[in-house]
Chain A
Amino acid sequence: MTIVEKPRTDAAPVEAEELSVVGKPLPKVDAEPKVTGRLRYADDLRLPRMLVGKLLRSTRPHALIRRLDVSRALALPGVHAVLTGKDLPITYGILPVSQDEHALALEKVRYVGEPVAAVAAIDEETAERAAGLIEIEYEDLPAAMSIPEALVPDTPRIHGEGDGPNVDRVAALEFGDAEAGFLEADHVREDVFFFSGNAHMALEEHSCLASWDAGKLTLWSSTQVPHYLHRTLAKVLELPASRIRVVAVPVGGGFGGKSDPFSHELVAAKLAMATNRPVKFTLTREESFYAHRGRHPVLMEVKSGFTADGRITALSFRNMLDGGAFGSFGAATTYYTGALQGTTYRLPAYRFEAVRLHTNKPPCGPKRGHGTPQPRFALECHLDKVAEELGLDPVELRLRNAIEPFSQTVNHLRITSCGLVECIEQVVEASGFHEKHGRLPYGRGVGFAVSAYLSGAGLPIYFNDMSQSEVQIKVDRGGGVTVYSMAADIGQGSTSVLAYIVAEVLGIVPEDISVVTADTDLTPIDLGSYSSRVTFMAGNAALDAARKMRDLVLEAAAEKLEVDVAQLATAGRRVFDRDDPERGLEWEQAAHVASALRAPLVTAGSYRAPQLAGPYKGSGVGPSPAYSFTAAVVELDCDPETGMVAVDQVWVAHDVGRAINPLLVVGQTEGSVYMALGEALMEEVTFRDGLPQATSLFDYKSPTVLEMPEVHTYLVESIDPEGPFGAKEAGQGPLLPVIPAVANAVYDAVGVRIDEVPITPDKVLRALDLAEKGKLGRVGPKGMPAFDFPAPYRVEPPGESLP
């Protein structure tokens, strides 16, 4: 394994005791508006003369639109405008390679729930009535509702002309010689797994408000990506970007589900322009399930080769993704199902093949962990099976293959700080895993797994050579500090993190700071709240801007105090002489002096990730300036009579680099564990006869407080050399190991393998029944449908001499 030289950093590591804001369990800067109900989310906004918008949605999974007549809707008193697909004919999509969506369906519909027409009326009731008056005739086409159905050659294509199969994307890569690795192995094993699709289910339904005023469009929206929404509006509405202002209002839960530009956003804007009145759309809960972009269902075939003493010789993955009707982030998701396997294990050789298929279902996209929870589930369950066959402890198997700090993965990803082993040791010891595994009474079990995740995608969504995040800071004459950033706070606390970082550098407190966020008119670029990028990237931009501001203030203070600037420090809301702390200025005085001597008191900082992509197509997915690492142990009861699984305790250790605020990091970890348990045990998007079966919160089961176990969280601080104060991500990584740890614990409890999530009681009972009949106690996919993957593109692993 190549050891990468430790990257240089412009600041020596900061010792925790020197910090006064960073690392402290402070309340969030927006905590009080949240607990008083004063925070205004998108649906809380209203404007004078505002109209209400409603979408008419397809009732057919796959059909040609033969007739669409909106005249009765238009004639209804109180209706101001009706739009159909031909009013917004320009295609769009979040990725440049997937410009395949229309704001309203044109000519054909591709899933139940796809927007077909839109109404703006004086109130919701009138808008709904008008939508019901739109006449539409369909000519049904055969629908593809699953991976095998999408692969049928003589089914009509969902996109394009002619017959299927409905292939969206194909990836095939090989790093080193996988076959040679399997040949030299003492032990080769293959498994097939399935991960069902599930939904973000943010408690806030999508909502936006559009206003058209003097040739300028303003859109307030519940979005994670104001910048990409801004670009999409400009494209679809054919307006210069300078005539559009997007404001991402505080988001009531995102989890990746508000990272695409959506039909209702484009339609609200167009209706506001058409009527010259503000127009608001708020989706119902049912519609939020149609907007979807949830977890891709993925069918996976895993093969590994091991030496007798438990060292990997080769690994391969073959994945089939059920993408739903449109591209969304799917091209990236496809590569993400293969990109991070090597971030936890040293792989001498690795082959990855994947195909994403179109089906007649709401489009899948990025959900917490984006394309990596599915293969992580498969890999970690597979490794437990290998360990058992080799007679090795499952923890020991991971430790023998664990990736090392400052190394490179087989697919050319640069690993910097890495606390994987510390995470493993922490949860194994705290949970008493070795005292429990294989030793608990029948019906009770423990399971273990590990994972890694990005601290921000290394590359932007569209190719460019600009910065990925910029922050401006202004200090007023009274010492008040305003920080400007386009980062959208979706509940993860990004606004607070920016305030903490700036406060730390300037030696003031977060209460001295106002943070203006996520407004394309007011704030400099940040690409958005996705891929766990904001603490790392916006945080580094804030650090850069804050250091420049500190320098301005210190230079002015040095002049005033007649001391050398190197003598000065900032802390406790003062600027003072290190050797003579009595000699100094209060922060307000320092700001006043600096306003006179160094005006204007405005600085800007920026961040762009180092260029880390490997030498192959598809290498843009996976690189990140740093990776977080997680290990988890789950202890549960599995009732062999009912098949019910009740998780009792979860131990999770997360290498966050440095916790900018440990309270928020623990909160992200607990929330990740919760979301993982929902996916592992109950959450599932299902269809019957082309119709979605779960479009309410009764039918879409998610854990309540009664299902939540006790969670023991341990933060490992590996102090990343490039993270702001050493910080890495916390919002997504901790979800990853929990799902396979549940499956491994079910096996430990009752001796059956459920190779498919969610692990519902019926599957457990079926597996127990099979075992009782002397068959293999396993429920899961039996194999992969036939598909001709192209020959993989061969890439040599990084050589010993690579930097």
Chain B
Amino acid sequence: MTALQVIFLITAVGTLGSALMVVITRNLVHAALWLVAALFGVAVIFVQLNAGFLAIAQVVIYIGAIAILMIFAIMLTRRVAQDAGPQTNPNWAWAFLVAAVLFGGLTWLLSAWSGFSTPMPEISSRADPLRQLGQALVSPNAYVLPFEVASVLLVTALIGAIMIAWDRKSG
């Protein structure tokens, strides 16, 4: 067992554990915090996959924006009576079943795939994924259009969110 494998395992367990806690905890704020932990674990995995930029982006965007946003939302939609009691709805058994079946199915299907156990290929030290990514995102031959569209999407979402959450009473 190499060091990388150990690190991976620790990270994986941490992530999965945090994720599990997210979906199980009764306290919603705790769930948000556990979510932060899970997202952090995902960032670490990104690092292990030589996607440094994505790791940073993950932390900044997901944890820095999205998770915070969720905490704000929890704060704004607090009902004391709702926080007590089990936080799962009566169909949790069916949900569990579906999730389990899906996991089993996916695993089984993937294991039949030939490329299931591909080892990690070497990448040359001269390769710079960051530079490549930057060029790909603004290059007309590559992904500039999706990039621009994504920005438009964000503007739209921004405006949309404001509109939806606009409080008519206070104007």
Answer yes or no: are A and B bound together in one complex.
no
A interface, CB within 8 angstroms of B: none
